[in-house]
Structure 1
Amino acid sequence: MTTRSTELLRVVHRSPGVTRADAARLVGIGTGTATELVAKLSRAALLIQGPAAPSGTRGRPTTVLLPHPEGPLVVAVAITHEIWRAEVVELGGAAHTALQGRHAGAAWPEVRSAVRGAIEELRVRYGGRLRAAGISAPGTVSRDRRLDAVGPGWHDADLTALWPEAEVLVAGNDATLAATAESRRGAAVDAAVALHLRIEAGLGGAVVEDGRPVIGARGAAGEFGHMPFGDPSVRCPCGARGCWGVAVDGHELARLLGDPTPVDTLSYARRVITSAAELLAGAPATPAAPAVAAVHAVAAPVPPAVAAVRAVAANLGRGIAGLVNGLDADLVTLGGLGADLLATVPEEIHAAYRDGLMSIHRDAPPPIRPAALGDGGPIAGAAEEAWAALLPRLA
């Protein structure tokens, strides 16, 4: 096989169902060479050719390129603070069999055992077709694939132990992998420099430039939640004071509402945001009133849940402005609670965002969009990284 074979596989992975003619153009080869490569990749059980959907025009039917039904597969695993999920993913990104389980509060050895068992079950089911693994985890992942997750208390956890015999095993932080997926298959596909932020039990993210995330010297780039954009009087579970992450998640909502810090800050935050959304949806529209009546009007009290969610949204918007000023991103995507806040109180986010921007950004602020892949971003990113590492080995 050749480098051109690898490039052709990358094109099909990015756009399954691409026509053979378009694939040849994207790789920069002639139609004759493309025909030879496709035949070689078909014999290797990597691609198949199929007819395109009828176009209604005359001429020779167009051939499209698709993953081979008996071709190689990767397993993508997403481990969160509450659950783990494993999916088998084919070339092109389509997911097949999925296994998952809950582990809230479990120590790392228990989680490791459950995930390793799931991978072994999938290996038995798919045999030699399962060639690589991609792991998404809720913490800092070093270049030697060791995890440090403050929230669940997993320190120096060896992610390679999930499949010690793997031909290819890649791993990364969940927010970083979600950013990768958004840039390759989601809301940031056309961005040159995309900033992705994901809020769950804390805030993480990544900067993706030309489709590649910046991971840093120790794999800790994107820990934006630990920038001092928050209240200096509030201590973060990481040990620092004033961290932005605890100003935009369930910790801050509970503090504003006078509730004790919840064990599960993500579920708590989602309940509060849902309550605020329902209150806002049910609020009657304010009719236009004569000026004299307006002077004597008494504003209706703002429900505590709505006030708390608005305050957290403003904290989020100000922090986004700081990152855009420093990073010069041309697009911002929000996942997790960030997308929930954007859907519920967009005005508060955008007002704080605009107020914090440098003048050079104000005329055309980089747009803020919800993540297109939603909660599936980290596992999709894990699959993308696994395929990126595996493709050169196939061709």
Structure 2
Amino acid sequence: MVRERPGITRTAAAAGLGIRSGAATELLARLREGDVVDETPAPAQGRGRPTTILRPHPRGPLVIAAELTVTGWRVGHADIGGEPVIDAQATRLQGDPERVLGDMADAIREIHAHHADRVRAVSLSVAGTISDDRLVQFSSRGWRDVDLSRLTAQLPTDVDLPVLVGNDATLAGLAEARTGSARGVGTVLHLMVGAGIGGALIVGGVPAMGAHGGAGEYGHVPFGDRTRLCPCGAYGCWGLTVDGLALAALLGERPPRNPITYTRRVITRARRTGFDDVARRAFDTVGASLGSGIAGLVNIHDPDMVTLGGLATPLRDAAVTAFDEAYLAGLMAFRKQAPPPVVDGVHGEDGPLRGAAIRGIDHITTADALALWIERR
């Protein structure tokens, strides 16, 4: 509640938890004594007994949140409030995986050295295909089977922090479900377009991660051309029809080195100069593929809401009619009268890092984790 409702009062927290004021007082005293939650006086609002605002304790547990994108990386830390503070970053990926992960490990070591007695976990978002703690495919860089557990290799030998690894689209969906446009929604389908398309199904605020953390690779379902081979090794992948490479082919331009930057540039250019016939057909084709694919996933998952992140939002905006028509046409008949709304996410490019922080906080605030924290304090 402290994370999802910043500035919540003790009275409101007690009501939200369904407990009496006396029980809330006892619970908060224990959390404050254990350096978990703190209280500050709320602004006076007329007569009556003053209440307090709850906030993360200034000496409370922390999670190191990190992200590896197709263009760079960021490493920061977050308390149980869930707001990441960036400590180090690189806007370009320099060198091979060993060097990149080594630089990130150095940043993690520095954060841990500054907050050694408070850091309880490392949570990482990666713009690639994940299996357990390995990056099995990072197409934009040609990396395969990279061990991500080495991010903690620079920590002291007596420090054993858990490393939680998740796909960027999955974690962006978690952020939207917890603190974004789908907050409070029961079942959410999140789709994010970047160098391909990924997503997550979030039920009750918990994302479906799969047996090895690789769930949500929606870009690799066969919604596309069955004769085309994807870099992932499968034929007919949907992602081949909706990213910057697909857009460039439809526009008759050379394949871009960076599909994400290219797509943004083309959209900006089209908005500035107007859509000629070639551009209109290209964007409508991509928009229709995006809409029909989402309809197929809605038929599978039956979500209350669909949220969009990354380039999915501007691609839909550039072809609203084509998207809407394809989305409605792809839905089963009984869904057409009240189709799940497709809404824009609110966290933008910060969604994956926020999601990584939230996942880490979930891990360090379980009953067992808090008991161990308080015992050590």
Q: Secondary structure at the match of 2:82?
A: coil
CA contact (8 A) 1:131 1:166 kept: no
Distance in 1 (alpha carbons) for counterparts of 2:310 and 2:160: 31
Task: State whether structure 2 residue 21 is matched by structure 1 residue 45.
Answer: no
Alignment of structure 1 residues 360-375 onto 2, 5 Å: 360-375=334-349
Please, what TM-score do these two structures have when normalized by structure 2?
A: 0.91
1:141: which partner in 2?
A: 130
Q: Residues 1-395 of structure 1 correspond to what in structure 2 (within 5 A)?
A: 11-55=1-45, 57-104=46-93, 106-143=95-132, 145-151=133-139, 152-164=141-153, 165-280=159-274, 302-392=276-366, 393-395=369-371
Contact 1:168 1:389 in 2 (8 A): no
Query: Is residue 180–residue 345 contact of structure 2 (8 Å, CA) maintained in 1?
Result: yes
Distance in 2 between the 1:192 and 1:210 partners?
5
Q: What is the one-letter code of the residue matched to 2:91?
A: R
**Pairwise CA RMSD of aligned residues?**
1.8
Using the size of structure 1 for normalisation, the TM-score is 0.87
% same residue: 43
The letter of the residue matching 1:24 is: A
Q: Distance in 2 between matches of 1:171 and 1:367?
A: 30
The C-alpha deviation readout for 1:8-56, integer Å capped at 9, x for no partner, is xxx223323221122223334322222122122222222211122343x
The AA in structure 1 aligned to 2:317 is A
Check conservation: 2:39, 2:55, Cα contact below 8 A.
yes
Distance, in Å, in 2 between the alignment partners of 1:97 and 1:225 is 30
Give the ranges of 4+ consecutive aligned residues of structure 1 lying more than 4 Å apart after TM superposition: none
Q: Distance in 2 between matches of 1:190 and 1:391?
A: 20
Worse-superposed segment, 147-156 or 247-256? 147-156
Paired positions, count: 363
Q: CA deviation at 1:166?
A: 4.1
**What SS is found at the alignment partner of 2:322?**
helix
Q: Output the amino acid matched with 1:351.
A: E
The offset of 1:268, in angstroms, is 0.9
Gaps in structure 2 of 5+ consecutive residues? 154-158, 372-377
1:16–1:67 contact (8 Å) kept in structure 2:
no
The superposition leaves residues 286-309 of structure 1 with CA deviations (integer Å, 9 ceiling, x where unpaired) of xxxxxxxxxxxxxxxx34333312
Deviation, 1:339, is: 1.3
2:117 and 2:278 map into 1 onto residues whose CA distance is 56
Alpha-carbon distance between aligned partners in 1 of 2:290 and 2:263, rounded to the nearest angstrom? 14
Q: What whole-Å deviation, never above 9, does each CA across 1:336-390 have from its counterpart, x for those lacking one?
A: 1101113333222111111111111111111111111111111111101100110
| Aligned-partner Cα distance in 2 for 1:307–1:82 | 29
